[in-house]
């Protein structure tokens, strides 16, 4: 090759090298931009959560939803978020508080707690997706929410009609049940002895009645239950009372602790007095945990006889309203103290199998909501894993809600307060 061609050839090679380098840089930049833009368009989830099929790429375009996000619509309150129960039982439902995620495609439900929102704080109804559940949630009875709403100047009548299409409350006609307790299941989960041999349980009983109370004046049964306990004592019943209402809060162990159950263990009866009177379905841990689980016969006041019959093991409690007076009730309790056979009949339910107790295997609250978002009925006792597999590989994203129809509330106020009894909404105060 002649020397005259060498500069030209070198220049050409340099030009091609530079062009190749520019193309390579351009390709990397564009590819990175493309990939990053695709990631930002995906629902907010970990990249490690993305499922990859071994078949053609076409089949990955319609993969199942990897999570059903529940947005907790509140600027304050005690609830901090987390996971809606164990994923293997409930499904993968992160509970978040980032309001920017309202329109995310993986946000399947929005929870509105009763106590923290004014109506002006609600998102516009016309901005919601048709496939989203807007859930009104209350762990309290109408008696308590009424007081909170009055104090915070929240009027449910200000909410536009047909805004909520779901509820989680104590009421049986809620879309999702707020409370479901299987006493034997709870005993096992709490690590407490089920004690099929009732002789062992009864041998520990050497005291009469106990009560923990720290809410002294709120609710339609708040002050009333204090008066009932005082009348029981006046009529001759030995009752040891603990909590803020009795100025000995420091003597009360932490609820659900080993010390808590140990303290109740020697008592024959527990005063499971709710703070609300005749509020539909409002039966709380005072009955299930402090009474049944702890091994004391609950003496109940609050819900109606019919409400207790629907959720309690047979012959497991004593209702105040079954007696004409507190004196008559005290006489019956003293009879049970003196007759071990009659007293033991209140524990016969403990000898049964878990599956024989409603609501065995059923779920409530946020777990039940998560399951519903995956199309699982509240009456289906199988776990999420049993239905869809450990990684949800059997889940079909076309599966809809397990409801015959969503409970669209024309008026939340009328549904919650309009159907409550006068006893429930009565404001009772300590004299």
Average pLDDT (12-20) is 42
Q: What pLDDT score was predicted for residue 120?
A: 80
Q: What pLDDT score was predicted for residue 362?
A: 80
Q: What pLDDT score was predicted for residue 75?
A: 79
**Model confidence over 343-389: pLDDT tens digits?**
999 998 888 777 777 666 788 899 999 999 999 998 898 999 999 99
| Highest mean predicted confidence (pLDDT) among 83-87, 123-127, 271-275 | 271-275
Which of 228, 205, 230, 204 is CA-nearest to residue 336?
205
Q: What pLDDT score was predicted for residue 19?
A: 40
CB atoms within 10 A of CB 31: 10
Average pLDDT (196-205) is 84
| N-to-C CA span, the chain | 116
Is 90 exceeded by the pLDDT of residue 119? no
Which of 78, 147, 172 is CA-nearest to residue 116?
78
Phi then psi for residue 108, to 5 deg, are: -95, -25
- Rounded distance, CA 130 to CA 67, Å? 18
* Lowest model confidence (mean pLDDT) among 80-94, 186-200, 213-227, 326-340: 186-200
Q: What pLDDT score was predicted for residue 354?
A: 75
Q: What pLDDT score was predicted for residue 192?
A: 63
- Rounded distance, CA 419 to CA 278, Å? 12
Q: Which residue has the higher pLDDT, 320 or 407?
A: 320
- Rounded distance, CA 79 to CA 273, Å? 26
Going by pLDDT thresholds of 50, 70 and 90, the confidence category of residue 47 is very low
Is 80 exceeded by the pLDDT of residue 404? no
Which residue matches tokens 């929005």? 110
Which of 143, 159, 148, 127 is CA-nearest to residue 76?
148
Average pLDDT (295-313) is 95
Is 80 exceeded by the pLDDT of residue 305? yes
Is 50 exceeded by the pLDDT of residue 89? yes
Cβ pair 273, 301 in contact under 8 A: yes
Q: Which residue has the higher pLDDT, 287 or 248?
A: 287
Q: What pLDDT score was predicted for residue 124?
A: 85
Whole-number average pLDDT of the chain: 81
Q: What pLDDT score was predicted for residue 126?
A: 78
Q: What pLDDT score was predicted for residue 333?
A: 99
Q: Which residue has the higher pLDDT, 313 or 79?
A: 313
Is 50 exceeded by the pLDDT of residue 95? yes
% of the chain at pLDDT higher than 90: 54
Which residue matches tokens 């909404």? 425
User: Long-range contacts for 341-349 (Cβ within 8 Å, ≥24 apart)?
Assistant: 343/202, 343/268, 343/297, 344/198, 344/202, 345/315, 346/297, 346/315, 346/316, 346/317, 346/318, 347/198, 347/201, 347/202, 347/295, 347/297, 347/316, 348/198, 348/315, 349/183, 349/313, 349/314, 349/315, 349/316
Q: What pLDDT score was predicted for residue 367?
A: 92
Q: What pLDDT score was predicted for residue 391?
A: 82
Q: What pLDDT score was predicted for residue 169?
A: 95
Q: Which residue has the higher pLDDT, 13 or 315?
A: 315
**Model confidence over 169-198: pLDDT tens digits?**
999 899 998 887 767 666 665 566 566 677
- Rounded distance, CA 346 to CA 295, Å? 10
Q: What pLDDT score was predicted for residue 136?
A: 95
Q: What pLDDT score was predicted for residue 189?
A: 58
**Model confidence over 226-278: pLDDT tens digits?**
999 999 999 999 999 999 889 887 778 888 889 999 999 999 999 999 999 99
Q: What pLDDT score was predicted for residue 27?
A: 31
Going by pLDDT thresholds of 50, 70 and 90, the confidence category of residue 44 is very low
Q: What pLDDT score was predicted for residue 248?
A: 82
The secondary structure of 199-253 as a DSSP string is HHHHTT--EEEEEE----S-STTHHHHHHHHHHHHHTT--EEEESGGGT-GGGSP
Going by pLDDT thresholds of 50, 70 and 90, the confidence category of residue 318 is very high
Q: What pLDDT score was predicted for residue 413?
A: 95
Average pLDDT (111-116) is 89
| DSSP3 helix / strand / coil % (the chain, rounded to 5) | 45, 10, 45
Q: Which residue has the higher pLDDT, 408 or 141?
A: 141
For the chain, list the domains and their CATH numbers: 63-180+362-431 (no CATH), 183-356 (3.40.50.11660)
Q: What pLDDT score was predicted for residue 393?
A: 87
């Amino acid at each position: 090759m002649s020397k005259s061609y060498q500069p030209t050839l070198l220049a050409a090679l340099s030009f091609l090298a530079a062009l190749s380098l520019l193309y390579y840089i351009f390709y990397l930049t564009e590819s990175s931009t493309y990939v990053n833009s695709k990631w930002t368009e995906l629902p907010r989830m970990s990249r490690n959560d993305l499922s990859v099929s071994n078949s053609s790429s076409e089949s990955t375009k319609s993969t199942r939803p990897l999570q059903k996000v529940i947005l907790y619509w509140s600027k304050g309150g005690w609830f901090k978020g987390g996971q809606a129960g164990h994923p293997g039982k409930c499904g993968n439902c992160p509970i978040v508080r980032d309001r920017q995620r309202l329109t995310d495609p993986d946000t399947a439900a929005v929870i509105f707690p009763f106590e923290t929102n004014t109506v002006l704080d609600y998102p516009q109804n016309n901005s919601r997706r048709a496939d989203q559940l807007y859930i009104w949630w209350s762990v309290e009875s109408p008696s308590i929410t009424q007081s909170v709403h009055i104090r915070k100047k929240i009027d449910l009548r200000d909410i536009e009609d047909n805004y909520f299409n779901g509820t989680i409350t104590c009421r049986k006609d809620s879309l999702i049940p707020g409370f479901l307790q299987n006493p034997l299941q709870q005993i096992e989960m709490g690590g407490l002895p089920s004690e099929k041999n009732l002789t062992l349980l009864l041998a520990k009983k050497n005291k009469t009645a106990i009560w923990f109370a720290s809410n002294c004046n709120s609710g339609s049964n708040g002050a009333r239950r204090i008066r009932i306990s005082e009348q029981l004592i006046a009529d001759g019943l030995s009752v040891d009372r603990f909590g803020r209402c009795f100025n000995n809060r420091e003597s009360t162990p932490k609820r659900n602790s080993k010390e808590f159950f140990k303290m109740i263990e020697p008592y024959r009866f527990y005063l499971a007095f709710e703070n609300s009177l005749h509020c539909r379905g409002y039966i709380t841990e005072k009955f299930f945990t402090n009474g049944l689980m702890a091994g004391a016969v609950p003496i109940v006041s609050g819900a109606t006889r019919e409400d207790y019959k629907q959720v309690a093991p047979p012959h497991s409690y004593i209702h105040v309203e079954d007696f004409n007076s507190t004196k008559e009730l005290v006489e019956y309790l003293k009879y049970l103290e003196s007759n071990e056979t009659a007293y033991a009949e209140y524990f016969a339910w403990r000898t049964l199998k878990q599956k024989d107790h409603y609501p065995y295997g059923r779920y409530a609250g946020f777990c039940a909501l998560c399951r519903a978002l995956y199309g699982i009925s509240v009456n289906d006792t199988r776990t999420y894993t049993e239905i869809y597999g450990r990684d949800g590989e059997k889940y079909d994203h076309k599966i809809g809600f397990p409801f015959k129809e969503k409970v669209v509330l024309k008026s939340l106020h009328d549904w919650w307060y309009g159907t409550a009894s006068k006893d429930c909404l009565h404001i009772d105060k300590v004299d």
